[in-house]
Structures are given as structure tokens and as C-alpha cells.
């Protein structure tokens, strides 16, 4: 508990103890004081002690209500409680009745407030623990000794030392040492990741075994751990439709019930007096109006709905699913169509050369030309060619490299014109090429304007890709679509193996946006379209979709910027899990809305009819709020789905 919660709890305990003591002493016992002092002294002493108790427990609420009035934001729960309890107290003084009811209402209201504060604090602490990735220090080696410094003081390009059991404080590249890293706090994946010199590592991971020397590639403020924490902290700023509704509802509802309570206090007595000729019974109807005010307090809705979304976002983060706002969590629950990018999403993006066909020169020479022509590219296809070549490309042998978007590359290698790309490139150059009957990515080669053969490269389908598509269909996703720049044969092969409903092949980045626009136009009935991509090359499509999901985006700035939901590892099953989490959270939100409004309406009617008293009003306010908050906190456990 923080200091504020401790102070609140202390006031609650003191007030409760004093109330019990005062209740144990009867009004008759107080009257014996009259003979010692003056007539009525016991009554005034009893009233004074109750007022002291009211001050102890109610001063904070009265102060907030007064500030609200001064700021012209009159109608809130503090105003309702202040009017209801002061009115009940005044009525008890006037009728020389029981002051305990007014004190008890404020006491239980404060218990509810404390419980809410504790629940929200616990929710935040749990999220902090689930995302316990912020490093406290970084180790810098100076004169043979390790010195701990603030990570924010470490410049990019510095070498830091990460010892076993420590968090990696800043993104970088392993310069020395090998180890296993625990990435569970980031990805939800329990399997450690092995790293060695040359491997990129990100902040937030825990070093499990060997000592690592890491050359930092970013400043601390730009590193993965900072970006993730900022994303989670700012997620509450984007409100869902339900949260907006509750905020607007409270702004209209609270004044409405205040005026209704005023009408309940005035109109029935006036009707009795003016039209029926009966005693107005002001006290009875004032009591009913005050009870009506206590019951009407919208705490349960105003508190539990935002808490449900906040806890849901925190729970999802433990599973390695970062949602940028409760509006995206809500949209995710309505996903009706999922559109996949192929490479890196459904396939591993790890390409391997499987064969060389129709070569007019030595296969090794053809592969060398292809690797040199592609040496300036970081595309997975280029890396696979260089890997198959087996030697570091000598860039001095290559001149005038030109990339033809969506087709391939042209380059001068050893003075010869080399073209490497798909059939579009061959057609542009007017080179006759030969088709390949194998399924995979085909790199056609032309040397000095003549066809020289083609290289077959295949991408491996991810282990869980098929299960991920099946899981989406089990969740009721109506349509699955795949977009790819690969050939129709490759696209058809992957789509049929995974059970994807339809696919579009040979697409340039602009074509993907166009196809997505058409798919969005087909969506009806409030269904949402989610696009799943790697978050780096698919930023325009991610931004255009109803929900952009960046997959396997660990450490990718582009992914975190472009997407609405970021899956921190490469497991496509996380897509279905994200939808399950969103639906569970929305279910809890609707449970709280129905439960709170239902109980409130029933108790309001009973209060207006005089059947409900202040004690039932306390349950309708504080009891319902406590139950709704407890229900909302179930969202913290959604990562277990």
C-alpha cells in the first residue's frame, strides 16, 4: 500500500471503532450527563461525537465535492455522497433520530473508495511485475573493474557487460561471449534463446549463463524496453467505445438522478398537501430522496470499465501481446477477416537454395554471379544466395547495381551485364526464360542479355502456421486471406497447405494496399479486418487495416510505430490468443455493465417506493462497486487463456 492508501485505511479504522463505541452507548446513557452539566448536554455531546466521526471519515469527500463545485464540475459521486450524508445527518438532527446511518453510508463509501484504490494499485503493480523489464543499471568496464551506471548515461556504440542473472539494459550486438537469454517477460516464451558474437540482442531479456559484452546500438530511451513500457503506459489514453459511453453516460446520468431526487423530495409531499389535503410527510420523502441519491452513485461503472481494459492490456502484455489502447482491444474482439502477409508471418522468412536448373554455365559460377548482383540487398532472398555461395562477396567486382521494384536487380559483375529476378524482369529485358515446375521462389538469371538458367529458393512454413489458421476459424473468423509478392504457384502451395480461404500473388507494396481496400469494402455488420505482417515492409497496409498486427516484431521500431497490436515473437498462434483475450475482456466489461445497471435500477425503484433503506443503498453503491472491481481484475489473468 502507498501512503495515501495507508492514511485512508487509518481513517476508516478510527471511524469504524468510534462508530461501534457510540452505538454501544445508548441515547439514554448520554442523557445521564444532563444531571451533571445542564439539560440537553448529553444529546449535544452525542451529536458532537458523531460529527467528529463524520469529519474524520467524510472530510476528504466533502473537500472533493467543494472543489468540483468551484470548478463547475458539480455532479460527480463526491457531490452525491456529500448531499446524501449531510442530508441524512440533518434529518437525524431535526428528528432527534439515529445519526449512525449517515456515518455508516460515508464509512462504507470510503471503504469502497479504499478498495478501489487498492485494486487499481494492485492491478498496476501486477502489470509492472508482469512487465518487469526495466533495467536498474548498466555495467561499464573501467580499468578492469565493473562500474554500475544509469542506463540513460550510456552512449550508443559503448560496450557494456551483462553478467548472469542481470537484465540486458540496452539494445545492442554481442561483441564477446555466448549465453542463453530468457525472453519470457517480452514474448511470453519460456524457451531460452542462445546468442553468440555477432547476434543482435534487445533490452529487457535476462542473461541466464555466460558473461556477455554488448556493443550498444541505441540510446536507452530508444531501446526496446523503453518503447514497450511507454506503449503499455500510454495504452489507457486510447479509450474504447464502452469507456467513452460510460464517461458520457455519467455526465448525463449524475445530474439526472440529482434532479430526480430533488423531485422525489418535493413533489409527492406537495401533491399530498395541495391535492389530497393530507400531511406532506417531508421527512419521509426527504429520506427516500437521500436513499435514492446513495443508490444512484455510478461508481461501479465509472471505475470497473476502465479497470477491465487496463487489466486486460496488462494481462495480454504478459503473453507477449502489446495492445496500444483499449479501443484496439475492443476492435480485436470483432475480428471477422484476417489478412496475412506470407513471408515472415506464415513462413519463417529463412530461404534456402534448393536447386539450380537449366544453367548454361557452371552452377557455381551462376550462383556466384547471383550472389554478387544481390550483394547490396538485405532481402532474405539475397542473404540466402550469399549463404549458398559460401563466401563473402567481393563488392569491388560489382558496379552499377540497380534495383527494379518488384522484379529484381541489374548489375555489372566482372564487366558483364547480370540480371537476377523474376519472370517480370526477364520480360522487361526481352529475355526468353524457362518455367520451373518446382514450387518455390524462382530467380531467373540473364548474363549479357542471354538466359543463363534459374535458381530455386524455398521458404519454410512455420511450425504453428496451420494450427493458427485453424484456431482462427474455430473462433468464428469468417475469412482468411494471404497477400504475397511471390508467384501464384508458391502462393497456392502455401495457402492450400495452411487452409487459407483465398490468396493474391505477385503483389507490389502498393498492390497490397489496393487489395486490402477491396477487402475492407466487403466487410459488413460491424466486423473488423485485421492485417498481420512483419511491421517493417508492411507499414502502409498495417496502418490502413482496422487492426494492424505486427508479428515477430521483437525490437522492431517500425513495427511498434505502425501496428495497433504488436506480437513480440514469431508464433502465429498468438493471433488467435490475442482475439481470445480481447473477447474475454469485452465479456467481463459487458458483465459489469449489465450487473451494475440492473442492480442500480432495481434498487432505485425500491428506494423511490420506500422499500429500500440506507443499508440497501450502501449495498447498491459500495457492494456493487466492490463486486464489479473484483470481476474486472479477472482480466489480469487473461494471459492464461
Q: What is the CATH number of the domain that holds 390?
A: 3.40.1110.10
Q: For position 480, what pLDDT does the model report?
A: 95
Predicted confidence (pLDDT) per residue in 430-442, tens digit: 999 988 877 777 8
Is the same domain home to 510 and 558? yes
**Model confidence at 14, in pLDDT bands (50, 70, 90)?**
very high
Is the same domain home to 164 and 251? no
Q: For position 245, what pLDDT does the model report?
A: 65
Does 155 have pLDDT greater than 60? yes
Most confident range (mean pLDDT) of 120-124, 520-524, 584-588 is 584-588
Percent of the chain with pLDDT over 90: 22
Specify the residue for cell string 482491444: 329
Does 306 have pLDDT greater than 90? no
Under a CB-based contact definition with an 8 Å cutoff, are residues 182 and 130 in contact? no
Does 236 have pLDDT greater than 60? no
Q: Looking at residues 488-503, what average pLDDT do you find? A: 89
H or E element at residue 325? none
CA atoms within 13 A on the CB side of 248: 7
DSSP assignment string, 267-281: HHHHHHHHTS-S---
- 70 found inside a domain: yes
Is the same domain home to 36 and 94? yes
- 574 found inside a domain: no
Which residue, of 542, 568, 594, is where some domain finishes?
568
Is the same domain home to 253 and 377? no
CA atoms within 13 A on the CB side of 389: 21
CA atoms within 13 A on the CB side of 511: 14
Which residues lie closer than 8 Å to 99 by C-beta, 6 or more apart? Answer: 46, 47, 50, 89, 92, 93
- 257 found inside a domain: yes
H or E element at residue 55? helix 41-70
Does 472 have pLDDT greater than 90? yes
Collapse the DSSP code of 217 into the 3-class scheme (helix H, G, I; strand E, B; otherwise coil) and give the result. coil
Which residue, of 396, 431, 460, is where some domain finishes?
460
Q: For position 29, what pLDDT does the model report?
A: 74
Q: Looking at residues 233-252, what average pLDDT do you find? A: 64
Which residues lie closer than 8 Å to 36 by C-beta, 6 or more apart? Answer: none
Does 224 have pLDDT greater than 80? no
Is the same domain home to 370 and 333? no
Is the same domain home to 248 and 274? yes
- 230 found inside a domain: no
Is the same domain home to 123 and 18? yes
Rounded Cα gap, residues 275 and 267, in angstroms:
11
Is the same domain home to 535 and 394? no
How far, in Å, are 246, 473, 580, 623 from residue 596 at the CA level? 12, 34, 24, 10
CA atoms within 13 A on the CB side of 388: 28
**Model confidence at 501, in pLDDT bands (50, 70, 90)?**
very high
Does 395 have pLDDT greater than 80? yes
Rounded Cα gap, residues 234 and 227, in angstroms:
11
**Model confidence at 25, in pLDDT bands (50, 70, 90)?**
confident
**Model confidence at 99, in pLDDT bands (50, 70, 90)?**
confident
Most confident range (mean pLDDT) of 50-54, 75-79, 128-132, 140-144 is 50-54
Query: Looking at residue 340, which CATH number applies to its domain?
Result: 3.40.50.1000
Percent of the chain with pLDDT over 70: 89
* Minimum mean pLDDT range among 203-212, 337-346, 466-475, 519-528: 519-528
Of 382, 335, 279, the C-alpha closest to 480 is 335
Does 547 have pLDDT greater than 80? yes
Does 445 have pLDDT greater than 60? yes
CA atoms within 13 A on the CB side of 252: 6
Is the same domain home to 410 and 510? no
Indicate the length of the chain as a whole number: 641
CA atoms within 13 A on the CB side of 132: 7
In the DSSP assignment, the letter for residue 396 is G
Q: What is the pTM of this model?
A: 0.69
Does 328 have pLDDT greater than 80? yes
Is the same domain home to 352 and 402? yes
Predicted confidence (pLDDT) per residue in 127-144, tens digit: 555 556 678 889 998 877
Which residue, of 460, 491, 518, is where some domain finishes?
460
Catalytic residues, by residue number, are 341
- 384 found inside a domain: yes
Rounded Cα gap, residues 209 and 191, in angstroms:
14
Query: Looking at residue 152, which CATH number applies to its domain?
Result: 2.70.150.10
Number of domains comprising the chain = 4
Most confident range (mean pLDDT) of 21-35, 197-211, 413-427 is 413-427
DSSP assignment string, 460-482: EEPTTHHHHHHHHHHTT--EEEE
Does 90 have pLDDT greater than 70? yes
CA atoms within 13 A on the CB side of 559: 26
Is the same domain home to 508 and 448? no
- 484 found inside a domain: yes
- 532 found inside a domain: yes
- Strands 335-341 and 441-447 come out as unpaired
For the sheet with 335-341, list strands across it: 321-323, 565-567, 547-551, 528-533, 335-341, 479-483, 502-504
In 517-582 the beta strands, taken as DSSP E runs, fall at: 528-533, 547-551, 565-567
Q: For position 132, what pLDDT does the model report?
A: 62
Domain membership of residue 453 as a residue range: 348-460
Of 516, 511, 514, 557, the C-alpha closest to 534 is 557
Q: Which cell goes with 94?
A: 431535526
Is the same domain home to 9 and 118? yes
Does 618 have pLDDT greater than 80? no
- 158 found inside a domain: yes
Mean pLDDT, the chain, rounded, equals 83
Under a CB-based contact definition with an 8 Å cutoff, are residues 208 and 192 in contact? yes
Q: For position 588, what pLDDT does the model report?
A: 92
Q: Looking at residues 460-465, what average pLDDT do you find? A: 86
Amino acid at each position: 500500500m502507498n501512503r495515501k492508501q495507508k492514511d485512508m485505511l487509518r481513517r476508516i479504522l478510527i471511524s469504524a471503532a468510534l462508530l461501534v463505541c457510540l452505538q454501544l452507548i445508548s441515547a439514554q446513557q448520554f442523557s445521564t450527563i444532563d444531571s451533571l452539566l445542564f439539560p440537553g448536554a448529553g444529546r449535544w455531546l452525542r451529536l458532537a461525537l458523531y460529527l467528529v466521526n463524520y469529519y474524520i471519515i467524510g472530510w476528504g469527500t466533502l473537500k472533493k465535492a467543494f472543489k468540483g463545485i468551484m470548478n463547475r464540475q458539480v455532479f460527480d459521486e463526491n457531490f452525491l455522497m456529500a448531499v446524501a450524508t449531510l442530508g441524512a445527518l440533518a434529518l437525524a438532527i431535526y428528528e432527534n433520530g439515529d445519526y449512525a446511518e449517515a456515518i455508516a453510508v460515508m464509512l462504507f463509501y470510503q471503504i469502497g473508495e479504499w478498495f478501489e484504490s487498492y485494486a487499481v494499485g494492485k492491478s498496476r503493480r501486477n502489470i509492472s511485475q508482469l512487465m518487469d523489464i526495466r533495467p536498474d543499471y548498466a555495467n561499464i568496464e573501467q580499468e578492469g573493474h565493473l562500474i554500475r551506471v544509469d542506463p540513460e548515461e550510456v552512449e550508443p556504440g559503448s560496450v557494456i557487460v551483462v553478467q548472469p542473472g542481470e537484465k540486458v539494459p540496452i539494445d545492442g550486438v554481442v561483441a564477446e561471449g555466448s549465453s542463453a537469454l530468457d525472453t519470457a517477460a517480452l514474448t511470453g516464451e519460456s524457451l531460452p534463446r542462445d546468442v553468440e558474437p555477432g547476434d543482435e540482442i534487445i533490452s529487457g531479456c535476462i542473461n541466464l549463463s555466460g558473461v556477455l559484452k554488448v556493443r550498444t546500438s541505441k540510446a536507452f530511451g530508444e531501446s526496446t524496453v523503453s518503447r514497450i513500457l511507454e506503449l503499455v503506459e500510454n495504452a489507457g489514453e486510447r479509450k474504447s467505445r464502452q469507456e467513452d459511453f460510460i464517461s458520457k453516460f455519467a455526465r448525463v446520468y449524475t445530474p439526472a438522478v440529482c434532479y430526480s431526487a430533488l423531485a422525489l423530495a418535493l413533489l409527492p409531499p406537495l401533491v399530498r398537501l395541495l391535492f389530497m389535503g393530507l400531511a406532506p410527510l417531508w421527512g419521509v420523502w426527504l429520506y427516500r430522496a437521500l436513499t435514492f441519491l446513495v443508490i444512484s452513485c455510478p461508481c461501479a461503472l465509472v471505475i470497473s470499465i476502465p479497470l477491465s481494459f487496463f487489466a486486460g492490456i496488462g494481462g495480454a502484455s504478459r503473453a507477449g501481446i502489446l495492445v496500444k489502447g483499449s479501443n484496439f482491444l475492443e476492435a480485436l474482439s470483432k475480428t471477422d477477416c484476417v489478412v496475412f502477409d506470407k513471408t515472415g508471418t506464415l513462413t519463417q522468412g529463412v530461404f534456402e537454395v534448393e536447386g539450380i536448373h537449366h544453367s548454361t554455365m557452371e552452377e557455381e559460377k551462376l550462383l556466384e554471379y547471383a550472389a554478387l548482383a544481390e550483394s547490396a540487398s538485405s532481402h532474405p532472398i539475397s542473404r540466402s544466395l550469399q549463404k549458398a555461395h559460401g563466401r563473402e562477396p567481393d563488392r569491388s567486382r560489382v558496379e552499377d547495381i540497380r534495383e527494379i521494384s518488384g522484379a529484381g536487380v541489374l548489375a555489372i559483375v566482372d564487366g558483364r551485364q547480370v540480371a537476377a529476378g523474376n519472370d517480370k524482369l526477364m520480360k522487361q529485358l526481352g529475355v526468353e526464360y524457362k518455367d520451373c515446375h518446382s514450387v518455390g521462389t524462382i530467380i531467373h538469371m540473364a548474363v549479357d542479355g542471354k538466359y543463363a538458367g534459374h535458381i530455386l529458393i524455398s521458404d519454410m512454413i512455420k511450425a504453428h502456421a496451420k494450427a493458427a489458421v485453424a484456431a482462427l476459424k474455430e473462433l468464428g473468423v469468417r475469412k482468411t486471406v494471404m497477400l504475397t509478392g511471390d508467384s501464384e504457384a508458391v502462393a497456392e502451395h502455401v495457402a492450400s497447405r495452411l487452409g487459407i480461404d483465398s490468396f493474391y500473388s505477385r503483389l507490389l507494396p502498393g498492390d497490397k494496399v489496393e487489395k486490402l481496400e477491396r477487402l475492407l469494402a466487403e466487410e459488413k455488420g460491424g466486423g473488423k479486418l485485421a492485417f498481420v505482417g512483419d511491421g517493417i515492409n508492411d507499414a502502409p497496409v498495417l496502418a490502413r487495416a482496422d487492426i494492424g498486427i505486427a508479428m515477430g516484431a521483437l525490437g522492431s521500431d517500425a513495427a511498434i510505430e505502425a501496428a495497433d497490436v504488436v506480437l513480440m515473437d514469431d508464433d502465429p498462434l498468438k493471433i488467435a490468443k490475442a482475439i481470445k483475450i480481447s473477447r474475454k475482456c469485452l465479456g467481463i466489461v459487458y458483465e459489469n455493465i449489465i450487473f451494475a445497471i440492473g442492480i442500480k435500477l432495481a434498487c432505485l425503484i425500491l428506494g423511490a417506493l420506500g422499500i429500500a433503506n440506507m443499508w440497501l443503498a450502501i449495498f447498491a453503491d459500495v457492494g456493487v462497486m466492490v463486486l464489479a472491481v473484483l470481476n474486472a481484475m479477472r482480466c489480469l489473468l487473461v494471459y492464461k487463456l
